[in-house]
Structure 1
Amino acid sequence: MRTRRTRAATAGIGAAALAAAASGAVLPATSAAEPARQQPPPGCETDCEKVFDLSLPYDVRFTGWRDDSAPGGRSVLAYYIGDELHDSRELPDRGVQDAECGWDGDAQRCAVTYYTGAHSTGALSALLTADRGIEETDSVRGGAPGATLRQLDGNGRPDVALRQSTYDPNYADAPRYWETYLEFEGKFVRTGCGAPEQQPSPAPTEPLYGSCAYY
């Protein structure tokens, strides 16, 4: 279920953002303390924990809320302009974990990591615009814990590294491997995979191009 409260953007936000993008300036999101005025989005008035809170250019905030009180869990993404809730999106059966954003033209392109149970983790791509609010444009999922946001191609927007399992001989004993995705026009494009390994390793800091034919 999606709820939306749309409000016209203040004059000059789009133009200023476009000018910043045209000049090549990258203004990364930064975490900041919750302002006292900020209210939880619909569906998260109770039992929700704020997991991330990003302060974006031009008085925009992007937050993720998670409800762990029910089996399977759910989350709500919220987009604020100034002190007003501009849009929110409910994510059933996905527990948000982390987020990063970067310029996509005159808008903000964000990636959000999440879990979907004891083993699976993933990431979604969302575009934040004043007229359309939060638009989820793609999602990818890994078969093991460890979804991580990375800057892999230097364009200022978050990319993704996912952890997968070979499932051989079984999930508990199987080697695992990393695969990397670059964000391109709102989609996650897989570049390749690393070699399976028994011991955990850090998420890659550059794109992988090896074979993914492990399961």
Structure 2
Amino acid sequence: PGPHDANDIAGKTVGIVGAGRIGRAFAQMAGAGFGAHVIAYSPHTPPAELMQIGIEPVADLMELMARADVVSVHSVLNDETRGLIGAKELAAMKPSAIILNVARGAVIDEAALVRALLEGRIAGAGLDVYSQEPLMLEGHPLSPLFGMDNVILLPHLTFFTHEAMERLELETLARCREVLAGRPVTVKSPDPRLRAQTTGVRFEG
């Protein structure tokens, strides 16, 4: 690509799949920060909640895939979302659209994504997560994407900072002290599914 082959997202439509905490933070950057129109497919989020923060809720994933200039995936991985974006959904995208996955690799059918990119049916992709990690140059489902000018592959390592590792060690020690003192172990998660299936612990967040 030439030095001026990039595009602004101002005035474009950014589609978010999964408008949780991270998805909403990204929406804020894309919308208020860069002037994009943000739509979201987030079936477990009340539409009014999204509209209050400037996101247009979309009830149908196929509609989002067809409308968005940028599709950004932020869903959790579970039985409902595994393979959520497959060949049919990718085929609905504009030829000029790109897809980003910063959620979990298996939310997207990676074989279908490779085909869509190799055949030039979508403009590009940016991936930070993979169904098999670590990513490898050979013998990996996404190995064919290495060297493509329109694909950015990141190593899913943004949390490996000195400060993050120190926090992890301190949190682990704190949980060990709780066990040794006979106190309920603290779990820092707002996930309602985890709360519903876990007992004998203390939730924060």
TM-score tier, shorter chain, comes to: under 0.3
- Hey, which of these two has a bigger chunk of strand by percent? 1
The structure that has the greater radius of gyration is 2
What's the TM-score once normalised by structure 2's chain length?
A: 0.27
- Hey, which of these two has a bigger chunk of helix by percent? 2
